[in-house]
Amino acid sequence: MTFKGNILSAAHYAAARALLADPLTNKGTAFSEAERDRYHLHGLLPPHVGTLESQIARRRRVMEAMGSDFQRYAFLRELQDSNEVLFHALVQSDLPRMLPLVYTPTVGEGCERFSEIWRRPRGLFLSWPNRDHMADILDDTAFDRVKVIVVSDGERILGLGDQGAGGMGIPIGKLALYTACAGIHPSEVLPILLDVGTDNEARREDPLYVGWRAPRVRGADYDAFVEQFVTLVAKRFPHALLQWEDFAGKNAYDLLGRYRHRLLSFNDDIQGTAATTVGTLLAAIRRSGAALADQRVVLFGAGAAGSGVAEMLVQALMAEGLSQSEARARLWAVDREGLILTEMAQRPEGLPPQQVALARAREGGMADKMDLLATVRHVRPTVLIGASGQKGAFDEAVVRAMAEQVERPVIFPLSNPISRAEAHPADLLAWSEGRAIVGTGSPFGVAGVTQVNNVYIFPGVGLGALACGAREVSDGMFMAAARCLGQLGGDGEGLLPPIESLRDVALAIAIAVADQAQSEGLAMARPEHYTPEAIAARMWQPNYR
């Protein structure tokens, strides 16, 4: 069809509506008069021509008038699905305010209620019933620019357990942080949910549930499904980074070990949490005036996150000159059955593989069952780290027993969301007479308390690995990230740089990671591609074209 006087063809109308419907091209009221003429947008938009700044102010006013953070989370998700530039510009305009709404702690409720607020497609649901179509699904040309993939199977969402398809909220949220902090372009990220069912009956029986309504596929079938996925990703996205996220403990370790050398990938729950925790601990110890080698560390929770922290601590201690046995002698791991002892490996059920190296021989003076309080009294730890998902586990008796023996106890209740935190930081400060150095997994808004959030690590690791063309993400690269974070310093009260400077943090860590990859012979790109200036130039800023 062609123009007939002032009448536009159906094709022009369709093109105009497509432009407004695509979140990567939609500018809303910020389309100029010339653009409205060119793309035939008059009438589809109100006559006011706005700016990105005025749009941020408008969305901010609406958002702040809402009655709950979950409503704000849903509002931001809708905005992301309608206008990517505006969404990311709003997030970056006030990172301290926006990050808790985009990710932890609000994303926990977002995952639990994901089916209520699902509106438009974002990312991919690769489900068990459609496994034979996986290659066709991934072959969509819309994904040709993808550089970062975050994938979950929804089984261990934060401390909330199995959320099935609702776990998609985690990859979406993580990738929003990749853009906000590392400047990865929105067209270059892809959230994926491996929907192999859910064992959460409440989700399966919910009439609004959007996932596959079946118990979880496990065993050999599950392994074959993931193998199919990895094989296709390696073929379709040979230069992309894949981040494993919120898989249950055994699967998390198995998948990391199986695939970390086959494609550029890492597990944020294991490696990202470890690097963030160790980096923050290095900063805390520097503040306390002690040496890392002199610390006695109790880890409460020895799943994927806790075990990952333990292994990186061992490596950090060995770098201080300790032998492996000396390093492990400074760690005590407590799980649901108490202090992990070597004798537990002799039981029929044994110990999970990641806990075997954490087990200690029984010592004189130990009770039959060493719960957390008994362990604290026996060990007199200088550092207490929680990755258990057990709300209130760091109670007054535990904290006072620790503070009686240590002048500046370091206490990190890291479990997310807030409803699963081992303690409230205000209580920790009160029970220690204000002497504790406190770091939390979620933001509590307590002065002097640092949020030990993986957002300080994973965006920079991903950016650095991509910039240098790394063949794999090594333990040394994560240690370099941890040491870089520990040296960046806080703002006087906190142990880490303020949230406002997360893009600077990501750049610094990316440089450290790329340098480490080069030293290990893992960097495939030419050195001029990952100088500090070249990495900074890769970081996208949300501005309208």
Q: Which residues contact 253 (CB under 8 A, 6 or more apart)?
A: 270, 304, 307, 353, 354
Whether the ω angle into residue 497 lies within 30 degrees of 0, i.e. cis, is: no
* Structure tokens that stand for 463 in this block: 């950016």
Strand arrangement of the beta sheet that strand 148-152 belongs to: 124-127, 189-195, 148-152, 241-244, 265-267
Total residue count of the chain as it appears in this document: 545
Known binder of ligand: residue 408?
no
- For residue 300, give the nearest of 196, 178, 401, 391 by alpha carbon: 391
Rounded to whole angstroms, how far apart are CA atoms 372 and 396? 12
* Structure tokens that stand for 221 in this block: 């079938």
Known binder of ligand: residue 245?
yes
* Structure tokens that stand for 506 in this block: 């990501």
Rounded to whole angstroms, how far apart are CA atoms 193 and 385? 30
Known binder of ligand: residue 246?
yes
Cβ atoms within 10 Å of 488's Cβ, excluding its own: 18
Q: Are 407 and 434 a contacting pair, CB within 8 Å?
A: no
* Structure tokens that stand for 312 in this block: 């990186």
Known binder of ligand: residue 156?
yes
Told to judge if 369 belongs to the known catalytic residues of this protein, a careful annotator would answer no
Strand arrangement of the beta sheet that strand 450-451 belongs to: 338-339, 331-335, 297-300, 383-386, 410-413, 437-440, 450-451
CA 368 to chain centre: 38
DSSP structure string for 124-177: EEEEGGGGGGHHHHHT-GGGTT--EEEEE-SSS-TTS---GGGGGHHHHHHHHH
* Structure tokens that stand for 430 in this block: 């009160």
Strands 148-152 and 241-244: parallel
Strands 241-244 and 265-267: parallel
Q: Which of 174, 178, 209, 259 is catalytic?
A: 174
Q: Are 434 and 409 a contacting pair, CB within 8 Å?
A: no
Strands (E) in 175-309, as ranges, are 189-195, 241-244, 265-267, 297-300
CA-to-CA dists, residue 502 to 182, 256, 446, 524, angstroms: 8, 27, 20, 27
Told to judge if 253 belongs to the known catalytic residues of this protein, a careful annotator would answer no
Known binder of ligand: residue 97?
no
Task: Please name the amino acid found at residue 50.
Answer: G
Q: Write the DSSP symbol of residue 45.
A: B
Q: Which of 73, 103, 178, 456 is catalytic?
A: 103
Known binder of ligand: residue 122?
no
Helix (H) or strand (E) holding 438: strand 437-440
Strands (E) in 228-378, as ranges, are 241-244, 265-267, 297-300, 331-335, 338-339
Cβ atoms within 10 Å of 64's Cβ, excluding its own: 9
Binding site listing: 156, 245-246, 269, 416, 453
Binding site listing for a divalent metal cation: 245-246, 269
Binding site listing for (S)-malate: 156, 416, 453
Q: Which residues are catalytic?
A: 103, 174
